[in-house]
Structure 1
Amino acid sequence: MRFRSKHGRGAWWRLSHALALRGLAPAGLALLLAPLPAGAVYKVEVEAPGALRDLLKAHLDLTRYADRTDLSQDQFAYMVETVGDQVRQLASTEGYFDATATARVDGEGDKRVVRLTVDAGARTLIRRVDVAVQGPAASQAPAQVEALRNGWELPAGQPFRQSDWDKAKGDALAQLQSNRYYGARLGHSQAYIEPDEQAADLSVRYDSGPAYLLGPLRITGTSRYPEGIVRNVNPLSVGEPYRVERLLELQRAIQRQPYFSNVQVDLEDAPPAEGADSVTAPVNVHVREYPENRLGAGVGYTTDTGAQATGRYTYLNLFNRAWTFDSQLSLEQKRQYALGEVAMPPDGKSYRNSVYGSYERTIDVESTDTTSLRTGLKRSRSRENYDVTFSLDYYYDRLMPLGEQQQIARALVPAFAWTRRDVDNPVFPRRGNVINTQVGVAVKNLMSDATFLRLYGRIRQYIPVGSRDLVVARLELGADMTGASPQNVPATLRFRAGGTDSVRGYGYQSIGTPSGASVLPARYLGTTGLEYQHWFRPEWGVALFWDAGTATNDLHGITIFHGVGIGARWRSPVGPVQLDLGYGIQKQQFRPHVSLGVAF
């Protein structure tokens, strides 16, 4: 940095030495570290502008050594005498170059109080900013260079702070390096300070270096599983411009596979030829593999199905060909579920083919018991924002209403499912939406008891409010289009509403078609909801919500059930936890809704 001032060397010395002062005491205080005759502790009161008060309390020697009991009177007097120099040095890092300080000591012995009063003076403001990029980027990517200038974080009119200056330079360099110009460097920077005019002129020059293009993958760390798994999920193309987000996309694609516990992706720092405007650099991928056997478990609780315990065993190298065998077991108070699946590794188009079988039973849900046996084939692909699944599923469902005859229905259903995730954070989203759609069809007498078309869709929209608050909007629609009796459609392909992720204020799946003492699943479903979340701390928030919906066999004369309520939100280390108290308006009842879980 360079400074021009009638004070000569003083302004430059104050700023350039202030950062060192934050971590090191002046040489005259080194004797504080040696054993000395015992003295008394004291208090320090700092009167200063808010921008300086916390900084001075944290870094002044008087405050840092206030609890030392081994200070001599000479050492204490020395700190009081030199506190003005320390204040000026620290204040300069916040843009106050003419700060003055007075210190007064009241009381004696352990009753001493040092009263420090600081006059910060006028704060130095940014007067001019000159950001330039030299090298191939100036001609190859003028729009990128202009975006870098427009996004500069310390514009004219802002106060000059050393930490902001350092951050602005570093962030602009990272922005340049993250898109095409991987080898960009900070060539020159200068903060020209005019203390008399309380003005700072900033100048920064970046050297872009050549544009980087992506080369072939270089994979290391594979031993149990073939490196073809990595190549088959690779979304990158050789020769495309380097962008750090594309490398992160590759990293996430690999991490979505079950074989690797850790993935590191970076660009090889290939030296460019002299005078070259571009360079092709290989992409280095280093993986750490999971062992062939994996075992997991978890516990949780939801007011819908009660306490739960889950277990999962996976074998990742079936037939020594990286086929996976996955088995899952979930035991809940009102639901039991088991799954066995064999899946092949991803093919050249990133699809995984699998065969599965499952068993599910729900007990005493609205006075009905449901048992569902399923088996089928799937072809699925999971990418950055999209999941696609083609499946052929066979359902055998048995529904047992209380006091009525059982209902058995079968169906062979070719189906398609599509999910899009466009959110800023997959675990705790604040902006964007998640959309899921499903389409399935069955034909009577083709291993099915009825001909029907099943349609289902769900969207959840996240809308940020201010810096912390959030609005969540939800819409869910479903229909079984058939001329046959609903009883001939498997129960798990029909619909009920109510519960934690549906219409709160009502029991789990309590909204459907009444039949005696039971509530049966219906042909049509529609639910919606609005929720406002106020986050008074980053991890804790409260919510107000309204839900509405129905499930019915007849679209004429339907009853829409409404629920309102209040809830608590916790962004826990293992995922979101919600506790709600809903009021069902039609049934005039309060119901709690709790959802939490822990994996280990």
Structure 2
Amino acid sequence: MPAGLAAPAGGRPVAPAVLRRLMPPLLAALMLSAGPAAAAYEVEVDAPKPIKEILQDHLDLSRYRTRDDISPDQFNYMVETVGEQVRQFTSTEGYFDPQTTTKVDGSGDERTVHITVELGARTVIRAVDVGVTGPAASQSPERIAEIRAKWGLPVAAPFRQADWDKAKEDALVALQSNTYYGARLTGSQARIEPDEHAADLSARFASGPAYSMGPLMISGLRRYPEQIIRNVNPLYEGEPYRVERLLEFQRAIQNQPYFSNVQIDLGEQETTEDGKIADTNPDRVAAPKVDMSADKVTVPVYVRVREYPVNRLSSGVGYTTDTGAQVEGRYSYYNLFNRAWVFDSQARIEQKRQYVFGEIAMPPDSRTYRNSAYASYERTIDLESTDLTSLRTGLKRSRSRENYDTTISLDYYYDNLQPFGEANQLSRALVPAFAWTRRDVDNLVFPRRGNVISTQVGVAAKHIMSDETFFRLYGRIRQYVPVGKRDLVLARLELGADITNGDVTKIPASLRFRAGGTDSIRGYGYQSIGTRNGASVLPAKYLATGSLEYQYWFLHDWGAAIFWDVGTATDNLTGVKLYNGVGIGARWRSPVGPVKLDVGYGIQQKQFRPHIALGVAF
């Protein structure tokens, strides 16, 4: 036994586990009180991965190897006890009987400690016993069977401490996330048989009562009425508790422009002496007393919000090869007329486009619809030898839900299209329209699976504040298909049509179609595909574009892409000319969103063209 350490009274040696707990303070004390210090030393570990990495990072010999104040006694003690430390670390990976050999070469500041570890046979799971008591045993046997089927450490799997902890945690979360909010782990044991290299696992869970959701209890509001939150609430009283439904409610509130933070839970519960569940949520809201039975309970849903300041200003910069560098600013006021109406304004200046937008929107009604009035001004400059000034104003009624957006609108367009060397084309239209979007993706910012579908339908009648009668259709779908663990295939289809028997130039140019550019057909200029008119390319009646792209992600945030784009914009469906573009690109999942850098080759135009899209908000 090294100097400075003594056996407890009675002569019994300190147990290894106790010694391990005592080592850090004792070793620190020795470092302060020991005699002459020796120089640093080197450590070489010979062991299979990932054990080698664990030992290199966590063995005391490794951790203190750069210290130059280690005394000979301290150094010798770490060498003598390294086998016990190795056993403790390897046991977390299922190796309970490693053979450790330690050799010290050299002396003084030339010492090297060689540690060789032979792991032996790994312990594997021999038996698993997962039990659930409480109401779930009779109410939800299928869920208990599912938890057992999805148990994360099954028979024949290698034992790892991290996997053992995660298996218990996952099983508990599975219970707590659906109906049995108060479930808890009541006992667990991993019985290891080193001689047989086997582990027998048992875990016991108490489900607690089945929870259903009661009335809303809202706190944190200062300026806005509770009705805003109640109107977007998808829950109903008596509904069985599911964490997914609470998260859906939370997202519905966060989608409103008023709140910077939202927390939703059922509050903390505890059991009273008579075995019933008592409501112990802090008195931050006035919660009604609820008489709860042992098998089923109905509890309030607590909603705590933090409001944004009434004024909000944001800005950003960006660049795209389509319209050049851009700078934008946005100002919002969230309590117009002290009625929680929202005034929202936005201005964006790009090299080839300027855009100004203003809107006044009411809070969501009892069906979660928001009514608003808006106006916008947009001007594009020298796009394929055309200038376009577009004024737009209207009324709309829109609803945004978990995966769906729906908008009914009445829009008035007034456009002035100026082809180079030609007379201006003035056009106007009053368009009742319907728009629908569905998002079914695994991640809204960086999707790998699912699709996004957008559709629009509108109509205009000549002489009713419109210069021509037409029926407008537009649709777009993006499909994401994962390949392996990181890669994906992205497919896109876009279709549009202005159906009319009249003069197409009487339809506002902003309601017609052009193709080409970063998000259309790469390898061609932005909106360079349409109806040729002298030096200008005018928007057309019909649009069709498609794309296939394979993304190879060699790192989590960095990838490469190859793509093929095809499509056209035309006034005549007879003898349609299709434009093809192929190319390669780079992808970066940046902290502010996806960044794309592509080089496309336009096959019909026989030219290369870069396509870059990035932006930063601040």
Query: Post-superposition shift, 1:111?
Result: 2.1
Q: Give the corresponding residue for 2:489.
A: 471
- Counterpart check, 1:103 vs 2:102: yes
What amino acid maps onto 2:546 in structure 1? T
Q: Give the corresponding residue for 1:403.
A: 421
Query: Post-superposition shift, 1:305?
Result: 0.5
Q: Give the corresponding residue for 2:512.
A: 494
Q: Give the corresponding residue for 1:197.
A: 196
Query: Post-superposition shift, 1:277?
Result: 1.3
- Secondary structure at 2:93 match in 1: coil
Determine which of 24, 32, 35 is the counterpart of 1:34: 32
What amino acid maps onto 2:129 in structure 1? D
Q: Give the corresponding residue for 1:44.
A: 43
CA distance in 1, matches of 2:443, 2:188: 35
Query: Post-superposition shift, 1:269?
Result: 3.1
Q: Give the corresponding residue for 1:372.
A: 390
1:306/1:32 CA distance change after superposition, 3 Å: farther
CA distance in 2, matches of 1:240, 1:180: 10
**Is 2:31–2:69's contact at 8 Å kept on the other side of the alignment?**
no
Query: Post-superposition shift, 1:51?
Result: 3.1
**Is 1:270–1:279's contact at 8 Å kept on the other side of the alignment?**
no
After the TM superposition, which of the residue ranges 28-37 and 134-143 deviates more from structure 2? 28-37
CA distance in 1, matches of 2:25, 2:590: 47
- Counterpart check, 1:559 vs 2:558: no
Query: Post-superposition shift, 1:599?
Result: 0.8
After the TM superposition, which of the residue ranges 275-284 and 308-317 deviates more from structure 2? 275-284
- Counterpart check, 1:343 vs 2:361: yes
Determine which of 582, 586, 604 is the counterpart of 1:586: 604
CA distance in 1, matches of 2:236, 2:176: 19
- Counterpart check, 1:163 vs 2:198: no
Identity score, percent: 69
Q: Deviations over 1:471-497 (max 9, x none)?
A: 111000000011112101100000001
**Is 2:130–2:203's contact at 8 Å kept on the other side of the alignment?**
yes
CA distance in 2, matches of 1:358, 1:371: 11
1:144/1:508 CA distance change after superposition, 3 Å: same
- Secondary structure at 1:223 match in 2: coil
CA distance in 2, matches of 1:545, 1:185: 51
**Is 2:37–2:72's contact at 8 Å kept on the other side of the alignment?**
no
Q: Give the corresponding residue for 1:6.
A: none
Q: Give the corresponding residue for 2:406.
A: 388
**Is 1:263–1:285's contact at 8 Å kept on the other side of the alignment?**
yes
What amino acid maps onto 1:517 in structure 2? A
Query: Post-superposition shift, 1:355?
Result: 0.4
**Is 1:35–1:70's contact at 8 Å kept on the other side of the alignment?**
no
Q: Give the corresponding residue for 1:228.
A: 227
**Is 1:374–1:393's contact at 8 Å kept on the other side of the alignment?**
yes
Q: How does 1:94-133 map to 2 (within 5 A)?
A: 94-133=93-132
After the TM superposition, which of the residue ranges 433-442 and 135-144 deviates more from structure 2? 135-144
1:95/1:505 CA distance change after superposition, 3 Å: same
CA distance in 2, matches of 1:376, 1:582: 38
CA distance in 1, matches of 2:240, 2:467: 55
- Secondary structure at 2:81 match in 1: helix
What amino acid maps onto 1:259 in structure 2? Y
Q: How does 1:506-517 map to 2 (within 5 A)?
A: 506-517=524-535
Q: How does 1:191-590 map to 2 (within 5 A)?
A: 191-271=190-270, 274=276, 276-590=294-608
Which TM-score applies when normalising by structure 2?
0.92
What amino acid maps onto 1:243 in structure 2? R
**Is 2:262–2:303's contact at 8 Å kept on the other side of the alignment?**
yes
Query: Post-superposition shift, 1:41?
Result: 1.1
What amino acid maps onto 2:185 in structure 1? L
Structure 2: runs of 5 or more not aligned: 1-14, 277-292
- Secondary structure at 1:34 match in 2: helix
User: What is the Cα-based RMSD across aligned positions, in Å?
Assistant: 1.5
What amino acid maps onto 1:469 in structure 2? D
**Is 1:475–1:528's contact at 8 Å kept on the other side of the alignment?**
yes
- Structure 1 runs (4+) deviating above 6 angstroms are none
**Is 2:478–2:493's contact at 8 Å kept on the other side of the alignment?**
yes
Query: Post-superposition shift, 1:35?
Result: 6.3
Query: Post-superposition shift, 1:57?
Result: 1.1
**Is 1:270–1:281's contact at 8 Å kept on the other side of the alignment?**
no
CA distance in 2, matches of 1:142, 1:538: 40
After the TM superposition, which of the residue ranges 194-203 and 51-60 deviates more from structure 2? 51-60
After the TM superposition, which of the residue ranges 424-433 and 36-45 deviates more from structure 2? 36-45
CA distance in 2, matches of 1:490, 1:270: 62
**Is 1:374–1:396's contact at 8 Å kept on the other side of the alignment?**
yes
Q: Deviations over 1:525-581 (max 9, x none)?
A: 001101111111111111111111100001111111111111111111111111111
What amino acid maps onto 1:210 in structure 2? P
- Secondary structure at 2:50 match in 1: helix
After the TM superposition, which of the residue ranges 189-198 and 266-275 deviates more from structure 2? 266-275
Query: Post-superposition shift, 1:147?
Result: 1.2
- Counterpart check, 1:186 vs 2:173: no
What amino acid maps onto 1:62 in structure 2? L
What amino acid maps onto 1:282 in structure 2? P
1:317/1:33 CA distance change after superposition, 3 Å: farther
